[in-house]
Structure 1
Amino acid sequence: MSIDARLAELGIALPELAAPAGSYVPAVVSGNHVFTAGQLPFVGGKLPATGKVGEGDSLVSPADAKGYARESALNGLAAIKSVIGSLDRVTRVVKVVGFVASDPAFTGQPGVINGASDLLFEVFGDAGMHARSAVGVAALPLDSPVEVEFIVEFA
């Protein structure tokens, strides 16, 4: 099954390629790998939420942040597709790095970044299994709650 067919089966439409928020490109090819820039959870060109992740009324909930990590991964797939033409060329998701803007008491970063990892498993199956880091940080660009980057291998 093609990746486009798999995405359709999952009810997923890839977003338009997000414009860079600085002096960089969304993805770079080196050899047979694509390295994405950090992807924010833009939806229609806007962040759906801003702020720190944690428990409390003024914070982004971990459940919402997990969804934003998934959206960030979709933006990453759009970046990859933009440089290699088709996601069918991806042979392996090698590494995922996820950043979570965290309230000082929050330690659930792995659960948040599961939003990105789970999507990659759903889309690519065994080829979506990857090494990963999930890191809590004080702040992210544009006050985003999450940012995700990854490395994929392609043929």
Structure 2
Amino acid sequence: MSVSDQLARLDLTLPTVAAPVAAYVPAVRTGNQVWTSGQLPFVDGELPATGKVGAEVTAETAERLARTAALNALAAVDALVGVDRITRVLKIVGFVSSAEGFTGQPGVINGASNLMGEIFGEAGAHARSAVGVAELPLGSPVEVELIVEIED
């Protein structure tokens, strides 16, 4: 089953790639890998929530936002090379804007990781970093980067 077919089966639609908020591109290819820039959880051009996780934003909401950010990262890959060329998810890097004392970053970034498993099965198993940070662009609670392998 193609990635597009799997997305349809899961009733997921890749969004339009968000315009960069600074001097970068959404994704780059080198060899058989695509690296995405950090993607925020934009929905129709807006952030559904802002603030720090563990204060203004719950961990559960942030986990859903990480899933959305990961879907946006897949959209960046799709726009560059086509999502159906992905053969493996290599790494996810997740950033969580964390209130003082919040230590649940891994659970938040599970939103992105679990999505990759749903879409890619075993090929979605990946290395990962889940990092707590003081602030993210535009007040976003989460940001997600992907590194994927593609067929030549």
* TM-score normalised by structure 2 residue count: 0.97
* Runs of 4+ more than 3 Å apart: none
Query: Is 1:89–2:64 an aligned residue pair?
Result: no
Alignment of 1:91-106 (within 5 A): 91-106=87-102
**Deviation for aligned residue 1:29:** 0.3
SS of structure 2 residue aligned to 1:20: coil
How far apart in 2 are the matches of 1:153 and 1:116?
17
State the AA in 2 paired with 1:151: I
Query: Is 1:68–2:70 an aligned residue pair?
Result: no
How far apart in 2 are the matches of 1:125 and 1:97?
19
Query: Is 1:149–2:145 an aligned residue pair?
Result: yes
Residue correspondences, number: 151
Alignment deviations for residues 100-125 of structure 1 (CA, whole Å, 9 cap, x no partner)? 00001100000000000000110011
Report the counterpart of residue 3 of structure 1 in structure 2.
Answer: 3
How far apart in 2 are the matches of 1:115 and 1:49?
15
Query: Is 1:36–2:45 an aligned residue pair?
Result: no
How far apart in 1 are the matches of 2:62 and 2:122?
25
How far apart in 2 are the matches of 1:122 and 1:20?
27
Report the aligned-residue RMSD.
Answer: 0.7
How far apart in 2 are the matches of 1:108 and 1:16?
30
Identity, % of aligned positions: 63
Report the counterpart of residue 117 of structure 1 in structure 2.
Answer: 113
Report the counterpart of residue 16 of structure 1 in structure 2.
Answer: 16
